[in-house]
Each structure stands twice: as structure tokens, then as C-alpha cells.
Structure 1
Amino acid sequence: MAPTTTLKNIILAGATGSVGAPILKALLAEPSFNVSVLTRASSSSTFPPSIPTHAVSDAFTEAELTDAFRGHDAVVIATSTTPITKDDLAYRFVNAAVKAGVKRLIPSEFGANNLDPRAQKLVPVYKAKGDLLDYLKTKEAEGLSWTSISCGSWLDWALDPAKSGNFLKIDVANRKAEIWDSGNAQFTVTTSSNTGLAVAQALKNPALSANKQIFLSDFVTSPREIIAALESQTGEKFAIEEKVSGPVVKEARAKFDAGDYNSVYTLLSLSFVSDEDVGYNFAKEQKIWNKDLGLPAATLDEVIKATLEKQKL
């Protein structure tokens, strides 16, 4: 892609999801973008009349996707994890983007370094996403560039049970938590708002972000540090249940291999809170892009404070 190319017409798939919603908000806040969303014809989700929608069937056929993507400069995928692991939808997105003449695609990465063998070994979805990224690279010669965004954990999302089901095994409302293994595993945290802003900034600066893995990190923390911050700000001790991850990881992986794709969420959760090393401490191993993309600073204490205020806890 030529450095002078601009990306103006953006279409977002998965706009109402946990990561899609903050991405949509950030895209709409950028006046240089024309933003539309991809929806299922059967979906009950609604959008303001000012946001164009492109409806496709639940089958998400390549032909339908190609028609929906035509005329767009960039496609952002923020769909959920399960479809990536059990069918070829992600590949249909890529193929349709190429056929439609799209210039940039941001795949549904938003977690680990999906090319890291440690991550791929523990969590099947990381292997699936890594394979997709390798496939995307083969499309560069056909005019489709890409940007992969890895952000670690969204702590604001993970501590909201309505959104994540207490993903990190920390129940703020009831002042209790599970500690897996040592509880000292270090992992990257990026707020959902900064993740959305990073997507918008990457598209606003296409030459900077073309064909690159972008690693975000507001800060690095651990389960015990999060609990300590919660205890400090609430003035209450949390009831701790100590657990060992090994047998649970083995069981969840066996279930996944037997076709229970929902078991991947157990593996995803434990990849953060257990002592399994999947390379989540991005600041230790990768270039961090927060400053390049102009993201505002965020701290653990600020995220905890906002969490407690939002949930009135």
C-alpha cells in the first residue's frame, strides 16, 4: 500500500460486542471517517439513522460479504471468539475484502500475540488467529494490507460481571476471588477505550500501521496486584480461594478437542490468571505502540476506581 493512501470509508463487523462497541465509538469520533456497520439480517441490534448498515444473512457468504465491503477502504473485524475456532468465517472476511478492493483489514485479534508459540499451544483460538494472520500476509501482493492489534486484557471489561462473567475470577461485588497457582503472573492490560482508540488511530495513520503487529499496554499487573488495589480502595479484605490450574487446563483442552468450543473461554481466562507463560507481558518482549498512537495514559488505580464507581460498589 502506498504511504500516501488514506482510509476514509470504514466498515465494522461486530459493532455491538465487547470490543466492537468501543471501536465503533472511537471510529465515530474521528471526523475524517465515514463509518458503517455490518449486521446480520436476523439481528435485533439497532443503530442511529446516521450510521449506514449493510445486512447479510446468518450464513455470511463470501458473495454477500464482498457486496457489503465494496466501496470501503478498510474493514475492521470485532466478531466473537467462537466462530473463529469452528468455521472459516474469518477467511471469508479476508477473501471478500480482497475481491471488494479493500485496502486495509484489521482482524479480530485483540488479545495475545497470536503468532507466539506459547499462546498457540495453550489456547486453540490463538493458533486459529495466528494461522489467519499468516494467511492475511499472503494477500499483501493482492493489494490488501493489514494491522494486527494485541492488547492483553481489558481489565475494565474483565471486572464487570455483566459483560465478562468475572473473566479473571475476581468477584468485586461479593469481595471474593480465586487465585490460580501463584497469582503473580504478569500480564498486559489495555482499557477497552484505548483499544478502540488504537484502531481509529491505526486507520488514521495507514502508512505507520501497514502490515504490522501493534502491541498495546496501558500497564502490566497480576491477579494479586489487582486484588490488593481493590482491597485498598474498598477498605475491605477479599475472601481468597487458592486453586491449581493444571488439571483444569487439561480438562478444558480435552473438552475443546471433543468439540465443546465454549471450553475455550476457560482456557482464555486461565491464560491470564494462571502461571502458564503465553507471553502476555508485552512491555518485556515487544515494542509498545501507545505513544505512537497518541493513547492517553491509564493506571491500575484509575481503572479500579472507575470500576467501583460504575458498578456503585
Structure 2
Amino acid sequence: MSALENIIIAGATGSVGAPILKALLEEPSLNITILTRTGSSAKFPEGIPVKTVSDAYTVKELTEAFEGQDAVLVALSTGPVTKDDLALRIIDAAVAAGVKRFIPSEFAANNLDPRARKLVPVFDAKGRMLEYLQKKAYESNGKLTWTSFSCGSWLDWGLNPAKSGNFLGIDVKNRKATVWDSGDSKFTMTTARNTGLAVVRALLKPGETANKQVFLNDFLTSSNEIIASLEKQTGEKWNVERKESKPVMEESRRQFDAGDFNAVYPLIALSFVGDIEVGHNFPKEQKIWNEQLGLPAESFDGVIKEAIELANRG
């Protein structure tokens, strides 16, 4: 397959997009363009081309923005990309513009796994997005290809309250944590930096990664293992509260079904840390791409040490 050199990224400054953009800009063989919307106040690195579309994200203007691009990379946050068929319009525009590779906004669960889709509405919405992308790629007779990335949760992001709001229920600064159910459920975690690097390496290997789900795994761990490392490295006994996930999951689902979109975030978090089988143990069920993409080995205790140092700096 021909090289993918011209890359346009949507959502470049968000929690998902920022580490990916950093990795893209560090690869000199890639030409990066940023897609933004009129109503955005985001600031971008100097010297990077920016294409602006209206807040409506119409297929027409998206198609114009994608013309001449080899790959479209979507790193928009969970809310926008799963509402109003935005993801489908972006895919339609990529097809119309003759884009060769499409990377959807996944970067968490295996969104084709029926267990995950049944439990968390956002996983189901992203699963429908990926199915639509696969259909369009098939109908293009090979003109459009895709690569999706499933990296579990991000350990560095999850322990940074400014970025994740203590997504894992672990408050490093105040030395306290909530453990859901047994705390022994194993789930995949990756670092944000290795996720960004994986995207770059996949773009540089277009033939190997065409029409593939790429599963990443830096660490297979549990809440209890994370807290044990935190206690060992801080030399302190933490205040740990134990709760059952089922009542919270049920209430969050009721709230979501009643129209509260924000109720989806506890569902996402608990799908990782609760005793719930949703396929987040990637090494058990999936091919892991870290070695094939040449990703450096990350240190579990090292990432936790970074989180402690960040918390100590305030």
C-alpha cells in the first residue's frame, strides 16, 4: 500500500488528541493538518496548517477539508463524536474526498465486543460507528481502509486528576481511593504516550495495519495492584473505601436512559475497575500489537512514580 504522509486530525487538543498530536509532530515524514470548528477556542502549535469548518460539521465542508489528505484521524471526545451522527458524517466525507485511511475515535474498549456494548451505551455507539466504517471501506473496493485502536484505560491519564477527574477512583494527592467490588479484576492499561506512538507507527506501516483492530497493552493490572504500588512508593497507608459497583451501575444507566449523558462516565469507569466481564483483559482474548509496532516497554511502577511526583508538586 502507498505511504500515508498527509494526515489531518480532529480533536487535536483534547485528552485523547493531545498525546497523539505530539507523537505525530515528532515524526518528520508526516505532514500534519489540524481540523477545528469555528466555535472552538483551542490553541494549536505554530506553523501547523489548520482547516476550519462550522460547528455543524456538514459533509460538504468536511469533504473539502479532507481533500488531498491520505488519512483522517478522529480524536474527538466521547460526547460530540457519538451524537447527531457526527462520526458517520466524517466517514462519509472521508469517502467522498478519496481518503486512504480512516482512524476512528475509539482508544478505549473493544467496541465490537457485545459485552462492552451491552453495558455502556457509548461503547455501543462507537461499535456502530466502526461497523459503518467497515461497511464503507468494503464498498470502496479497497480505496478506503481503516485502523482502530483499543488501548484500555490510560494509567498516566487516570492518575492525573486535572485530566481525568480521578477516573479510576484513586486520589493520589490526598492518599485515598475507592475500590469497587473485589478490586482484583484485571484490565488493560496503556500510557498516553505509547498510544500516540502506536498511531504513528501504524501510519508508517499502512499495509500491516490496514483494516485491523489494533489492541495495545502496556500493563494488565487491577485497582488493588495500583494502590499497592502507590502505598509502597509513598510509604503511607492509604484511606481505602470499598463499594459495590452494581447499584451505581444500575442507577447510572437509569440516569443515562432518562437523558443525562454525563451518567455514562461512571459506567465507563466501572466497566474497568468493577468485577464485570466486558473484555477489557486484552492479552487474554486479543492479539497485542505493542511488539509489532515497536513500542517501548513502559514501567508500571515508573508511571505510578510520575503520578506521585505530579501530585506532590500540587
Question: TM-score when scaled to structure 1?
Answer: 0.97
Q: Which runs of 5+ in 2 are unaligned?
A: none
Q: Which digits, 9 at most, give the CA deviation of each residue in 1:121-148, with x for residues without a partner?
A: 1111111111111111111231210001
Query: Is the Cα–Cα contact under 8 Å of residues 110 and 151 in structure 1 kept in the other structure?
Result: yes
| Alpha-carbon distance in structure 2 between the residues aligned to 1:242 and 1:184 | 12
Q: Which residue matches 1:27? A: 24
SS in 1 for 2:312: coil
Q: Would you say 1:52 and 2:44 are equivalent positions? A: no
Q: Which digits, 9 at most, give the CA deviation of each residue in 1:227-263, with x for residues without a partner?
A: 0000000001110111011111011111111111111
Query: Is the Cα–Cα contact under 8 Å of residues 159 and 172 in structure 1 kept in the other structure?
Result: yes
Deviation at 1:196, TM superposition (A): 0.4
**Same amino acid, percent of matched pairs:** 64
Q: Which digits, 9 at most, give the CA deviation of each residue in 1:255-282, with x for residues without a partner?
A: 1111111111010011111111111110
Query: Is the Cα–Cα contact under 8 Å of residues 172 and 311 in structure 2 kept in the other structure?
Result: no
SS in 1 for 2:7: strand
Query: Is the Cα–Cα contact under 8 Å of residues 84 and 125 in structure 1 kept in the other structure?
Result: no
Q: Which residue matches 1:166? A: 166
Q: Which residue matches 1:97? A: 94
Q: Which digits, 9 at most, give the CA deviation of each residue in 1:26-80, with x for residues without a partner?
A: 1111111000100111212122331000011111111111111111000000001
**Runs of 4+ off more than 6 Å:** none
When residues 42 and 85 of structure 1 are mapped into structure 2, their CA distance, relative to the original with a 3 A threshold, is closer
SS in 1 for 2:42: coil
| Alpha-carbon distance in structure 2 between the residues aligned to 1:54 and 1:7 | 19
Query: Is the Cα–Cα contact under 8 Å of residues 180 and 244 in structure 1 kept in the other structure?
Result: yes
| Alpha-carbon distance in structure 2 between the residues aligned to 1:86 and 1:15 | 19
Q: Which residue matches 1:79? A: 76
| Alpha-carbon distance in structure 1 between the residues aligned to 2:289 and 2:299 | 16
| Alpha-carbon distance in structure 1 between the residues aligned to 2:95 and 2:225 | 45
Deviation at 1:311, TM superposition (A): 3.1
Q: Would you say 1:41 and 2:47 are equivalent positions? A: no
Deviation at 1:91, TM superposition (A): 0.4
User: Quick check: 131-140 or 208-217, which moved more?
Assistant: 131-140
Query: Is the Cα–Cα contact under 8 Å of residues 4 and 206 in structure 2 kept in the other structure?
Result: yes
Q: Which residue matches 1:231? A: 231
SS in 2 for 1:148: strand
When residues 75 and 69 of structure 1 are mapped into structure 2, their CA distance, relative to the original with a 3 A threshold, is same
SS in 2 for 1:45: coil
Amino acid across the alignment from 1:289: W
| Alpha-carbon distance in structure 1 between the residues aligned to 2:74 and 2:83 | 17
Q: Which residue matches 1:88? A: 85
Amino acid across the alignment from 1:21: A
Q: How does 1:169-208 map to 2 (within 5 A)?
A: 169-208=169-208
SS in 1 for 2:214: strand
SS in 1 for 2:92: helix
Amino acid across the alignment from 2:130: L
Query: Is the Cα–Cα contact under 8 Å of residues 84 and 128 in structure 1 kept in the other structure?
Result: no
Deviation at 1:179, TM superposition (A): 0.8
| Alpha-carbon distance in structure 1 between the residues aligned to 2:83 and 2:258 | 12
| Alpha-carbon distance in structure 2 between the residues aligned to 1:84 and 1:263 | 17
Amino acid across the alignment from 1:49: E
| Alpha-carbon distance in structure 1 between the residues aligned to 2:37 and 2:107 | 22
Question: TM-score when scaled to structure 2?
Answer: 0.97
* Aligned match for 1:8, one of 5, 17, 21: 5
Q: Would you say 1:284 and 2:284 are equivalent positions? A: yes
SS in 2 for 1:178: strand
Deviation at 1:299, TM superposition (A): 2.4
Amino acid across the alignment from 2:50: T
Q: Which residue matches 2:121? A: 124
| Alpha-carbon distance in structure 2 between the residues aligned to 1:184 and 1:299 | 20
Amino acid across the alignment from 2:242: E
| Alpha-carbon distance in structure 2 between the residues aligned to 1:106 and 1:66 | 16
SS in 2 for 1:263: helix
Q: Would you say 1:255 and 2:255 are equivalent positions? A: yes
| Alpha-carbon distance in structure 2 between the residues aligned to 1:49 and 1:251 | 45
Query: Is the Cα–Cα contact under 8 Å of residues 179 and 241 in structure 2 kept in the other structure?
Result: yes
| Alpha-carbon distance in structure 2 between the residues aligned to 1:105 and 1:121 | 25
| Alpha-carbon distance in structure 2 between the residues aligned to 1:236 and 1:214 | 38
| Alpha-carbon distance in structure 2 between the residues aligned to 1:291 and 1:232 | 30
